């Protein structure tokens, strides 16, 4: 067998043995690439005598054509095979049932639900939503709210303090949503009607207390604002929120540094059955603190107390969520247990509205 036949036999076997597109490409480079075995033979043509060129030269050219054709044919076959394999691997069975979307399987946490309900109610009454940071300065959390420096009321809140900064000031995790009152009054002109839901923090932890909990703050500032407005607003809210036609509320005198007079509000309820019922019964349940905004607080925000008055209230959200939806232990709220969320959570597309129902 001549050397050319030898080479042809070897290359033909390599071409046939190439299993994929990368392998046949390697064979191509090794045979007819710049430094390929056939290309090297072609380079010898220049030094041949005319006779040699006629016989051996023609044979080399023929070998090159045959090998080139064989490689192209194998390449095309491998490409077809690759496409066929891919189509087979990526087959989609369009007759399979569609998997439920996250909007069907996901659940809204009861606290988010309560916030949505509250903002729907107050939004309907013409209130805007306000927000403030969880990490507050001592000024917004206490001083501006008329907590005097060193006053024991500051200790009342079991505050989480940060390390003092270079100026010796300690930031706090806000102990209530009341600092949003200050931020709002400093940022906008009256009339003001806002509610501010959010996270709050105190060093407290048991079945009904968590170090992180939720409150909603309310604030109204206008030129003629009085306790009657406060009562009406809270009563309308409670009826809408507890989804009852009437509620009986009790305003007990209390103390908060930022309101004068201050009240704690109880709502009449029936605790004789397994679930608390509102709007009936012989029991009272405390649900919020409120009062008329203290003149010092108005002054701290640049408002003249002889021109403007206002009322404010603050309510814990977690406990009323527990009451409204019958969840026994607050700690489960923040345990991130999907079984709990699936059980107590709400469908994402059932957005609470006053016309379609809050919790329906």
Which CB sits closer to ligand DAH, 286 or 350?
Answer: 286
Confirm if 334 and 212 have CB atoms less than 8 A apart.
Answer: yes
Give least dist CB 270 to ligand DAH, A. 26
C-beta closer to ligand DAH: residue 82 or 156: 156
The CB-of-126 to ligand DAH minimum distance in angstroms stands at: 19
The rounded distance, in Å, linking the Cα atoms of 189 and 217 is 18
**Between residues 237 and 256, which has the closer beta carbon with respect to ligand DAH?**
256
Q: Report the residue number, 314 or 352, with the smaller CB distance to ligand DAH.
A: 314
Residue 138 within binding range of ligand DAH, rule CB under 6 A? no
Min dist. Cβ of residue 112 to ligand DAH (A):
21
Comparing CB distances to ligand DAH, the nearer of 71 and 196 is 196
**Lookup: tokens for 239:** 């009826």
What is the token pair recorded at 154? 């500051």
Contact 309, 292 (CB under 8 A): yes
Please say which residue, 56 or 176, places its beta carbon nearer to ligand DAH.
176
Judged by CB under 6 A, does residue 41 bind ligand DAH? no
Q: Which long-range contacts (CB under 8 A, 24 or more apart) does 70-75 make?
A: 70/11, 70/12, 70/15, 71/15, 71/24, 71/27, 71/28, 71/31, 71/32, 74/15, 74/16, 74/18, 74/24, 75/21, 75/24, 75/25, 75/28
Closest-by-Cβ residue to ligand DAH is: 314
Q: Binding mask 253-272 vs ligand DAH (x if CB under 6 A, - otherwise)?
A: ---x--x-------------
Inter-CA distances, 193 with 128, 185, 219, 302, Å: 6, 10, 6, 17
CB 221 within 8 A of CB 190: yes
Q: Helices then strands (H, E): number in the chain? A: 14, 10
Q: Which of residues 282-321 bind ligand DAH (CB under 6 A)?
A: 289-291, 312-314
Q: How far is the CB of 220 from ligand DAH (least distance, A)?
A: 11
Distance in Å, CB of 313 to ligand DAH, minimum: 5
Residue placing its CB nearer to ligand DAH in the complex, 132 or 289: 289
Among residues 279, 288, 342, the alpha carbon closest in space to that of 320 is found at 288
Indicate whether 217 belongs to the interface with ligand DAH (CB under 6 A): yes
C-alpha distances out from residue 335 to 26, 325, 327, 344, Å: 58, 17, 13, 13
Q: How far is the CB of 120 from ligand DAH (least distance, A)?
A: 21
Nearer to ligand DAH, 276 or 292 (CB): 292
Tell which residue, 235, 248, 324, has the closest CA to residue 281: 248
Closest approach, Cβ 102 to ligand DAH, in A, equals 35
Pattern 165-204, ligand DAH, x by CB under 6 A: -----------x-x--------------------------
Q: Which is nearer to ligand DAH, 61 or 119 (CB)?
A: 119
CB 355 within 8 A of CB 118: no
CA dist., res. 132 & res. 217, Å (int): 11
Distances from the Cα of 230 to the Cα of 180, 213, 261, 285, 291, angstroms: 18, 25, 12, 19, 8
Sign of the alpha-carbon torsion through 145, 239, 111, 113: negative
Q: Which residues bind ligand DAH (CB under 6 A)?
A: 176, 178, 217, 256, 259, 289-291, 312-314
């Amino acid at each position: 067998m001549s050397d050319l036949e030898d080479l042809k036999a070897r290359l033909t076997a390599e071409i046939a043995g190439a299993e994929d597109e990368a392998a046949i490409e390697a064979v191509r480079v090794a045979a007819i690439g710049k430094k390929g075995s056939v290309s090297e033979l072609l380079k010898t043509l220049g030094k041949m005598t005319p006779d040699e060129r006629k016989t051996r030269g023609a044979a080399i050219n023929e070998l090159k054509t045959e090998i080139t054709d064989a490689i192209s044919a194998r390449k095309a076959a491998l490409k077809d095979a690759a496409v066929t394999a891919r189509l087979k691997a990526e087959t989609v069975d369009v007759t399979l049932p569609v998997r439920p979307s996250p909007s069907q399987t996901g659940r809204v946490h009861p606290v988010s639900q309560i916030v949505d309900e509250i903002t729907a109610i107050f939004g309907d009454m013409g209130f805007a939503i306000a927000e403030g940071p969880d990490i507050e300065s001592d000024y917004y959390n206490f001083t501006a709210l008329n907590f005097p420096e060193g006053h024991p009321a500051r200790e009342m809140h079991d505050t989480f303090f940060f390390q003092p900064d270079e100026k010796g000031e300690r930031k706090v995790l806000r102990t209530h949503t009341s600092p949003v009152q200050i931020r709002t009054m400093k940022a906008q002109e009256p009339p003001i009607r806002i509610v501010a839901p959010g996270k709050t923090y105190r060093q407290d932890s048991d079945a009904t207390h968590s170090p992180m909990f939720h409150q909603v703050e309310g604030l109204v500032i206008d030129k003629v604002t009085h306790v009657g407005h406060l009562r009406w607003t809270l009563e309308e809210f409670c009826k809408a929120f507890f989804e009852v036609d009437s509620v009986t509320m009790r305003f007990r005198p209390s103390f908060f540094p930022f309101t004068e007079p201050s009240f704690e509000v109880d709502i009449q309820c029936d605790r004789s059955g397994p679930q608390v019922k509102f709007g009936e019964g012989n029991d009272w349940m405390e649900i919020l603190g409120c009062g008329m905004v203290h003149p010092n607080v108005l002054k701290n925000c640049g408002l003249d107390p002889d021109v403007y008055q206002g009322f404010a209230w603050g309510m814990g959200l977690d406990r009323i969520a527990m009451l409204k939806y019958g969840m026994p232990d607050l700690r489960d709220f923040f345990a991130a247990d999907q079984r709990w969320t699936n059980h107590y959570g709400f469908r994402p597309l059932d957005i609470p509205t006053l016309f379609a129902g809050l919790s329906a």
